[in-house]
Chains A and B, each alone.
Chain A
Amino acid sequence: MAGLHKSEFANPVVNWIDTRLPIFTMMQKEYAVFPTPKNFNYLWNFGALAVVTLTVMILTGIFLAMNYQPNTQLAFGSVQHIMRDVNYGWLIRYVHQNGASMFFIVTYIHIFRGLYYGSYKTPRELLWMMGVVILLLMMATAFMGYVLPWGQMSYWGATVITNLFSAFPIVGPKIVTLLWGGFSVDNPTLNRFFALHYLLPFVLVGVVFLHVAALHITGSNNPLGIDVKSPQDTVPFHPYYTAKDSIGICVFLAIWAAFVFFAPNVLGDPNNFIPANPLQTPADIVPEWYFLPYYAILRSVPNKLLGVCMMFGSLLVLFVLPWLDTSRVRSARFRPVYRWLIWVWVAAFVVLGYCGMHKPEGIYVVLSRLATIYYYLHFLVILPILGKLERPLPLPESISQPVLGRRGGGPLPGTAAAKPMEKA
C-alpha cells in the first residue's frame, strides 16, 4: 500500500477515489486553497474568460459539426440548414461565430495584461511562451473555421492566406499544394480544414493545461509585479477569486450575448453570404478583424517573401520577448518610460488594424509602414536598451505594504515614491 495517497476527505466515496487517484486533492490544492496574490485587478479575469470561451466554442462546435457537411457542393447549404431548420441552430452558430471574435478580444487583453505587468519575465518565461503557442494555434483554428461556411470571403481568404506560403523559395509551392490537397483551393482543402478545425481545439486544451500547470508552479504575477513574500500577501483562490472571476464572466457573457442576439453579423463580411465562386474575386479581400494588424504588416512590405516573414515574425518575436526586455522590474507602474511606450505599441497595433481594413494605397501604406516599424522597434531595439537606461521607481517592500500604507495613513519608510495602489 506504499503508493496510496492519504486522503483527508471525509466523504467515503470521495476518499476511496482520492486514495487511489488524488484528483480531489489536486483540485483542492490547485483551485481551492491555491495561494493567489490579493491585489489582482479585473485584468486578471481574462485568463478565466478565455477558458470559458474555449469551452463554449468546443461545445457549440461539436453540435455544429453534427449538422455541417464539409463538401464544396453542400457546405454553404448545410450552414443555411443549421440556421433555418436545426432546432436553435441559429443560436448555436451565432454563439460560435461571434465566439471567435470574443476569444480574440479576451486573448488580446490577456496578452496586453502580460505585457503591461511584465508577466513574461523570469520565472514565467515558459508560461509566456506556451501562451504564444496558444495564440498561434488559436489563429490557425480561427482561420480554418472561417473557411468552413464556404462563402466568398471564406474561399478567397483561404486562397490568399494559403498562397502566402508560396513566397518561400523552393519548398513554397510544395507547401501550398500540400495545404490545398491539390492545385487550387477545393474540396480536399475544405475537408482537411474541417478535420483540423475539429482537431486543433483539443490540442489547444492540452497546451492550455500546460499553461495553467506552469502558472501553478510559478504562481501568478500581480499588478505590482513583485514576488509574494509572505502568506499575508495572498488569499486562497476559492472563494476570493472564483467570486471575482464570476463577476467578469457575467459581464463578458452579457457582452457576448449582445452580439449574438442583437448584432450577430456586425463583425462579419456581407460577402460571406454569397456562396464561394472561384471565377469571381470580391472587390476587396479582407480577413476577419482579429487578423487585420498582421495583414497590414504583410501588405506594408513591397516584397512578398519579406512581407510574409515580417508577418510571421511579428508573432514569433513574442517567443523571445522575455530575453529582449532587459529590465528586471516587471510592472509598468514602476517603469516611468515603458509605461508610456507600451501604449505607443498598442496604438501602433490599433493603427495596423485600421490600415488592414483598407486597400494599401496612399496614406494607409505610410501609416502601416510607420506602425510596422514601431512594432518591431519596440521589441528589438527599445526594450533591450530601455531596460539599461530607465530608472525605475522604488518598488514596495511587499504586496501587503502599499495596502497597509494607504489605509494606515502615510507611506512606510523607504516607499515614499511608490505609487499608491490604484483601486482595482
Chain B
Amino acid sequence: MRPLRSLLAGVFAPAVIASSLLAAPAMAQDEQLPHENWSFRHLFGTFDQAALQRGFQVYANVCSNCHSMQYLHYRDLAGIGLTADQIKAVAAGVTVPQGTDDQGNPKDGPATPADQFKSPFANEKAARAANNGALPPDLSLIVNAREGGPDYVYGILTGFAQAPAGFKMQDGMNYNTVFPGHQIAMPQPLSDGSVDYADKTPNTLPQEAHDVVTFLSWAANPELVERKQIGVRVILFLVFMTGITYAVKRRLWANIEH
C-alpha cells in the first residue's frame, strides 16, 4: 500500500500545483479592468435610481445616436422610476413607423409606451455605412454579453487614450486600453461635460460612464431587484424546511439502530 500511495501523491501533487500556476495568468488579465463600486453588485444590492435616470439621459443624448436597444420598450422605463406621464412624453418625442394609412401608404407617427426603443439605423448595412464599416452593437444586453460585465463596459468608456509611441493604428480606429487588441472603431463617446444632468450632478467622464453603465446593467437585467428579493425569501424558507425535515428525520430514526 505505502509505495502505491506515495506513487499516487508523486503523480498528483505536481499536476495540482501546475494547474494552479496555470490559472494565475488567466486571472491576471482581469487586473486591467477598473473595479467600480456598483450599487447592484453585492448580494442584496439594488439599482441606484438617480444613477439609472442620469444613465438613461446619457444613453438618450449620446449612445442612442449609433446604438440600438431593441429589446427594451418605452414602458420598461417605469423600472428606472419614470412616471406614466414621463414615459408617454419620452415616447411621444420619437417618431416611428405606424403601419399604413387609409390609402395603404406607410405612415409615421409619435411612439407610444408600448413601442420598442427606436433603432438609430434602418438596418445593418445602413449602420455600417454610417460608421466606417463597423456595426455598433445593440446595447440591450451588452453588460451580460461581455466578460467582466459592468467593469468592462465602464473600462471601455473611460479607457480611450493616445496610442503609445510605435503602436500601429489602422485607419479610422481609436486606441483603447481595455478593448481586446486596443483598436476600437468607436470614437471616444463620452468626455467631461458630454451631458448636462437635470439634477446638477457634476458631469465628469467617470460620473457619466458610471451612470450609463448602471443604466445598461438595469437594461440587461431589469428583474435583478425583484429576483434578489424573492431569492432571500425562497432561501430562508428552504433553510427553515431543511431544519424541520432534519428534526423529523432525527426523531423517526431515533429508534432504529443504524
Contacts and interface: CB of A to CB of B under 8 A. Distances in A.
Interface of A: 38-39, 77, 80, 83-84, 90-91, 94, 235, 239-240, 243-244, 246-247, 250-251, 253-254, 257-258, 260-262, 264-265, 270-271, 273-274, 336-337, 340, 344, 347, 351, 354, 358, 363-364, 367, 370, 400, 403-404, 407, 424
Interface in B214-242: 220, 222-223, 227-228, 230-232, 234-235, 238-239, 241-242
Classify the secondary structure of A's interface with B: helix
Contact of B235 (A94, A244, A258): A258
B242 A261 contact: no
Contact of A270 (B1, B145, B241): B145
B252 A243 contact: yes
A97 B235 CA distance: 18
B237 to A, nearest CB: 9
A254 B12 contact: no
Nearest to A239: B252
Contacts of A363: 18, 22
Nearest to A94: B227
Most B CB contacts (10 A, CB to CB) among A84, A240, A258, A347 go to A84
A403 B141 contact: no
A38 B4 contact: no
Interface in B187-237: 220, 222-223, 227-228, 230-232, 234-235
B256 A273 contact: no
Contacts of B168: none
B115 interface: no
A336 B1 contact: yes
Given A243-B252, A273-B220, A337-B4, 16 more contacts: A38-B257, A84-B71, A84-B222, A90-B227, A240-B253, A240-B256, A243-B245, A244-B253, A246-B245, A257-B231, A262-B231, A273-B144, A340-B4, A344-B11, A363-B22, A400-B257
Contacts of A235: 256
A84 B140 CA distance: 11
B43 interface: yes
Given A39-B258, A340-B5, A90 B230 contact: no
Interface of B: 1, 4-5, 8, 11-12, 15, 18-19, 22, 43, 70-72, 76, 137, 140-141, 144-147, 149, 220, 222-223, 227-228, 230-232, 234-235, 238-239, 241-242, 245-246, 248-249, 252-253, 256-258
B145 A271 contact: yes
A354 B234 CA distance: 32
A270 to B, nearest CB: 5
A274 B71 CA distance: 12
A246 B223 contact: no
Contact of A38 (B144, B149, B258): B258
Given A246-B245, A250-B242, A340-B8, A354 B19 contact: yes
B231 A270 contact: no
A264 B230 CA distance: 13
Contact of B140 (A80, A240, A246): A80
Contacts of B248: 243, 246
Given A90-B223, A273-B141, A337-B1, A247 B242 contact: yes
Contacts of B144: 265, 270, 273
20 contacts: A80-B141, A84-B76, A240-B253, A243-B252, A251-B242, A253-B238, A254-B239, A260-B231, A261-B227, A261-B231, A261-B232, A270-B144, A273-B144, A274-B141, A274-B145, A347-B12, A351-B15, A364-B22, A404-B257, A407-B257
Contact of A250 (B12, B22, B241, B258): B241
Contacts of A265: 144
A38 B241 CA distance: 24
A250 B1 contact: no
A91 B18 CA distance: 40
A240 B249 CA distance: 7
A260 B43 CA distance: 13
Given A257-B238, A271-B145, A367-B18, A244 B1 contact: no
A246 B249 contact: yes
Most A CB contacts (10 A, CB to CB) among B5, B76, B249 go to B249
A362 to B, nearest CB: 9
